[in-house]
Structure 1
Amino acid sequence: MAKTPQFLKPRLRLFLSADIIGSTALKQTPRDALSASTVEWFPVLQGFYLETQRAFLGGWIRSLPEDTKERQLHWGPDPEFWKVIGDEILFTKELTDSHQLMNVLACWINAIDAARESIRKVDRRLDIKCTAWTAGFPLMNKEVALPRNFNIADAPVTDYFKEGGRLLNERYAKKANDAKIAVDYIGPSIDIGFRLCQFASARKFILSVGVAYILSQSNRKASDVRVTRFRYDGASVLKGVFGGIHYPIFWIDLAKPGDLALLEDKLTKPIECTSDDVHKYCDKFFDDASPYTFKPFIISQTENDLKEKPDNYEKDIENIKKNYGLEIIGDKASEKAAEAETPPQGTHAVAQTPALKASAATEETPLAISAINFAELFNEIRKVTKERASPSATKKVSDCGENTTPEGKDEKDENRDKD
């Protein structure tokens, strides 16, 4: 079995969102009302971004233990700034052990407290709302890589799939964030996370079902008790998500002692969820929603709880590796040579070409395959494609034994029409 490239190894990422409440009204100040005594909106937003980043990443570094093993197990890779979208700032962190989630959320909550205090000094009407979700890579969700420095002299990209893999593999091979390569994240889990943001408020730190599932199974004592203060607002339909299945809305209570909201709770008597009840619910939800999602898992030397991969996961990864190895891994010199040559005469099955035989024998990483004769392979593929597109293609298929209807229509096509 060929070695798996770095960018195709399973990763579970946590995403954290902080959004300003009241920023739209702040930006809609009438032009004639601006004066030296009026606070302009841009410095407020810029300060929010900077203070949130400083409080979160700085607080994370200050919280790291000196013990290397403890740091690797319960803290893992550092969080990273992802991007800014309007009035929202986002961070991401790779989880290499499920116990890390509790620590990073505690650090995040402390950072939000500091950022909230900072912006409310400027305008008491402003506040912050938060959302957290997880996303697994590289199957359900994808990493998008782009070079930061565009060179017009570079040859056009002829295979986007291959180029994306090359850039990601280059980034991971350096074992550090490559400033020359920008990475973004897309996929159904990312969409769900942004959908959940609409349910957040200054008090309600919204959690995806994946975050609630992992957090509820941890028996470690939280450094911030608010991390384990689960609440549940029922289930809602998220537009375009899971075919209309109702999605659970879990949240962490960010209210502090003395807040009016907590005093109100003494009147309304809301029920706090236990970790056991949350975990059982999430476990059943993943089973019921299995056509659309699966339970989060982590592959690492330290992870003991979230190790179960979904069915066919390894098979799907192997199929992707084959695609990289046989279909799209080449070099630009071979592609140019193939374009310049005239396809040779004669008929050969693509499966019998020396190029494919060479690729089947190699045990190298798909991204490092060098034994394939890509010029010959591209010529054979081009020739077969032209033959299939020729007017005699129907007769050739019939001669090869395919059953056709009197009108020349494939029976499989008729079956698909009936379906």
Structure 2
Amino acid sequence: MTDIDALRFEAAEYRVRLFLSVDLSGSTAFKNSKDGEARETGATPYWVTVFQRFYSDFPGLFAAEFQRQRNDSVGADTCPELWKAVGDELVFCGRVASKKSCAVALDAFIKTLHQYRKRLSDQGVDLNLKGAGWLAAFPEPNRTVQLRARENSPELLPASEALELSADKEPFQFDFLGKAIDTGFRVASRAQPDKFALSVQLARLLVNSGPDLSFGHQIRLERPSILKGVNKNEPYPFLYIDTMEYLPTQAAKQLEREVLREGEVPNPARLSEYLTAYCKVVGTDEITLKVDSAAADVGVPESYSTHKKYISEHLAGERQTEFDGEGIGDGLAPAEEVYLEDASLSPLEAAHEVPGDT
């Protein structure tokens, strides 16, 4: 029995995953442009080559940058893995056990975005990049779904540690569902090349960490607006990190913000108070993590503790059902054999009697 199999009926431990999205901006126009349609060799348009390079190169560059920044404070956390490609968008996912791990992954991702933007510019490719990030807690209130069963292996049960541990290692084999995931994609839709969009929970985690986190990025706020279906249509704060580096319009954008007095960095303490008040209004739990790998663990949310009891009871029932099913199967096998044997003997006995009677 593998370690995963041994955890099939164990309730999943509380965990937090960081989701990071990068999207090619201006892709539709590029595909339909003269340069995008150019076919220097063979039948492949240039835009296909550019997109293939993006899909293959960006994940490796991100992993290398994460590894460059990684230190003991990150602990055992690894670089978020590619979860899925959604059209021109790549979405990465990784479990984070500390604020430091979250900050390192986010900073590495933003640096990779900037460097890849520079690469496109140096190559004369008329495309840009925009990004977003959000957090989601599992197995409550969000859930993991296994997309395909492992060959010759039993099903990984919902909310089990076996399922969640497998998803930590290979997120591309699973789907993630829930309010935080839906909200995250809505937040990502508001991203702009100069503004890396953040969910409220991610921004709150970072802004509450103070200078000790050494994050290196300032979180800015624009007027809230409605995100369809999110928080009962209560206007959602537009929180973002400045990502103007290597933008061809960088100088003009900076002057524009100064003239219009937009994009000023809010006081972190006041921003924290505002986000706390907002979450109280919409009923969003705060996601808490320890500062770094050396710090003591923080408590899990009350909502998780409450649901863990029911998850454990459900999985215990699944274990019993599976055990009973195996027992019934084992008990029936001999009986079926006897029944079949008896059934096959009766006609033979009758066959011997018929000739004797005639």
Q: Could you state the TM-score of these two structures normalised by the residue count of structure 2?
A: 0.77
Instruction: Identify the residue that residue 62 of structure 1 maps to in structure 2.
Output: 68
Distance 2:35 2:105 in 1: 42
Q: What one-letter code is carried by the residue in structure 2 that aligns with 1:27?
A: K
Instruction: Identify the residue that residue 26 of structure 1 maps to in structure 2.
Output: 30
Q: Deviations over 1:298-355 (max 9, x none)?
A: 3797556x935444431211011101112565337716837997xxxxxxxxxxxxxx
Give matches, 1:323-402, under 5 Å. Answer: 323-327=314-318, 329-331=320-322, 334=325, 337=328
Correspondence 1:280 to 2:273: yes
Distance 1:242 1:176 in 2: 28
| Alignment partner of 1:193 out of 165, 184, 190 | 184
Q: What one-letter code is carried by the residue in structure 2 that aligns with 1:110?
A: K
Q: Report SS of the residue matched to 1:24.
A: helix
Distance 2:141 2:298 in 1: 17
Q: Does structure 1 retain, via aligned residues, the 8 Å contact 2:22–2:89?
A: yes
Instruction: Identify the residue that residue 46 of structure 2 maps to in structure 1.
Output: 40
Pair 1:337–1:238, CA change in 2 (3 A): same
Distance 2:80 2:10 in 1: 19
Correspondence 1:111 to 2:112: yes
Distance 1:330 1:286 in 2: 41
Q: Deviations over 1:382-401 (max 9, x none)?
A: xxxxxxxxxxxxxxxxxxxx
Q: Does structure 1 retain, via aligned residues, the 8 Å contact 2:208–2:272?
A: yes
Q: Report SS of the residue matched to 2:169.
A: coil
Q: Report SS of the residue matched to 1:147.
A: coil
Distance 2:240 2:165 in 1: 37
Distance 1:77 1:313 in 2: 24
Distance 1:29 1:113 in 2: 24
Correspondence 1:16 to 2:20: yes
Instruction: Identify the residue that residue 268 of structure 1 maps to in structure 2.
Output: 260
How many Å apart are 1:256 and its aligned residue? 3.6
How many Å apart are 1:101 and its aligned residue? 2.4
How many Å apart are 1:208 and its aligned residue? 0.3
Q: Deviations over 1:158-194 (max 9, x none)?
A: xxxxx34279644666897369x92221111000010
| Alignment partner of 1:298 out of 284, 289, 293 | 289
Distance 1:330 1:80 in 2: 35
Runs (5+) with no aligned partner, structure 2 = 1-6, 333-358
Pair 1:268–1:6, CA change in 2 (3 A): farther
Aligned Cα RMSD in Å? Answer: 3.6
Instruction: Identify the residue that residue 96 of structure 1 maps to in structure 2.
Output: 97
Q: Does structure 2 retain, via aligned residues, the 8 Å contact 1:231–1:250?
A: yes
Q: Does structure 2 retain, via aligned residues, the 8 Å contact 1:102–1:222?
A: yes
Q: Does structure 1 retain, via aligned residues, the 8 Å contact 2:23–2:129?
A: yes
Distance 2:243 2:147 in 1: 37
Q: Deviations over 1:75-99 (max 9, x none)?
A: 7333222111110011112121123
Correspondence 1:182 to 2:173: yes
State the structure with bigger RCO (CA 8 A, min sep 6), 1 or 2: 2
Distance 2:112 2:244 in 1: 15
Q: Could you state the TM-score of these two structures normalised by the residue count of structure 1?
A: 0.66
Instruction: Identify the residue that residue 85 of structure 1 maps to in structure 2.
Output: 86
Pair 1:31–1:209, CA change in 2 (3 A): closer
Correspondence 1:321 to 2:312: yes
Runs (5+) with no aligned partner, structure 1 = 158-162, 342-419
Distance 1:134 1:239 in 2: 19
Q: What one-letter code is carried by the residue in structure 2 that aligns with 1:261?
A: K
How many Å apart are 1:56 and its aligned residue? 0.9
Q: How many residues align?
A: 319
